[in-house]
Every structure is written in structure tokens, then in C-alpha cells.
């Protein structure tokens, strides 16, 4: 492994800035983790998660055996949009309160 090289990133990537430079880029009053809006529960562009949605709803729709589901993933992978889908499906059911 004598010829091993690594690329640590780009010079324009904020992760390579030193501490003072990163702190200078923080904007007061702006949440740095909010990067966009999640999709509404009736969004026509939400697709590709039918199996996960069905499995999640199957766990949550069992009043005889209450369950919980953890939704994990990288930023901008659609976790909030997925939860909007779950909430929309559960809110449409009779005699069920979804919070």
C-alpha cells in the first residue's frame, strides 16, 4: 500500500474550512438543518416507498399489539415526506387519532 492516495474533498466544501471560517458562515436566526420542504401526504411525486409504507402501516395499525417504527436515513432522503405519507394514511382511518 505504498502508493495509497486519498482525496479529502474539495476546497469549496465547507467541511474543509477551519473552525473560525465555519463559524463565520453561520447565519443567525436560520436553522442550518432545514434544506427544503417535505412532500405533502397527497403529493403525486412521492413514489418508490410503497413496500416500506405498507410495512410501517401494518405495524402501526395493530391496536391489539401497539408498535413503533424508527425512520432513519441520511439528510434529504425523504424521511419527513415518508412520515407525511404515514400520517395521511392513518388520519384517513375511522376511530383513529393520528398526532
Q: Would you say residue 1 lies in a domain?
A: no
* Domain total in the chain: 1
Count the Cβ atoms, other than its own, within 10 Å of residue 52.
Answer: 14
Residue 72 lies in a domain: yes
Question: What is the pLDDT, as a whole number, of residue 42?
Answer: 84
**pLDDT for 20:** 82
* Dihedrals phi, psi of 54, to nearest 5 degrees: -60, -45
**Residue 42 belongs to some domain of the structure:** yes
Task: Examine residue 36 and state whether it is found in any structural domain, yes or no.
Answer: yes
Report the distance separating Cα 49 and Cα 42, nearest Å. Answer: 14
97 falls within a domain: no
**The pLDDT of residue 14:** 56
Give the distance from CA 93 to its chain's centroid: 24
Tens-place pLDDT, residues 23-61: 888 888 887 667 778 888 888 888 889 999 999 999 998
- pLDDT recorded at residue 58: 94
- Whether residue 6 is contained in a domain is answered as no
Asked whether residue 80 is domain-assigned, the answer is yes
What is the average pLDDT score of the chain? 81
Is pTM, for the whole model, over 0.85? no
Segments forming the whole domain that contains residue 51? 14-91
**Interacting residues of 50 by C-beta distance below 8 A, sequence separation 6+:** none
Amino acid at each position: 500500500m505504498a502508493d495509497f492516495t486519498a482525496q479529502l474533498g474539495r476546497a469549496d466544501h465547507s467541511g474543509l474550512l477551519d473552525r473560525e471560517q465555519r463559524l463565520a458562515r453561520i447565519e443567525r436566526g436560520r436553522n442550518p438543518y432545514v434544506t427544503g420542504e417535505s412532500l405533502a401526504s397527497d403529493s403525486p411525486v412521492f413514489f418508490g416507498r410503497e413496500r416500506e409504507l405498507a410495512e410501517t402501516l401494518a405495524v402501526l395499525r395493530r391496536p391489539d399489539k401497539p408498535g413503533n417504527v424508527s425512520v432513519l436515513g441520511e439528510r434529504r432522503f425523504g424521511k419527513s415526506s415518508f412520515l407525511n405519507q404515514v400520517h395521511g394514511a392513518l388520519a384517513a382511518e375511522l376511530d383513529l387519532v393520528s398526532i
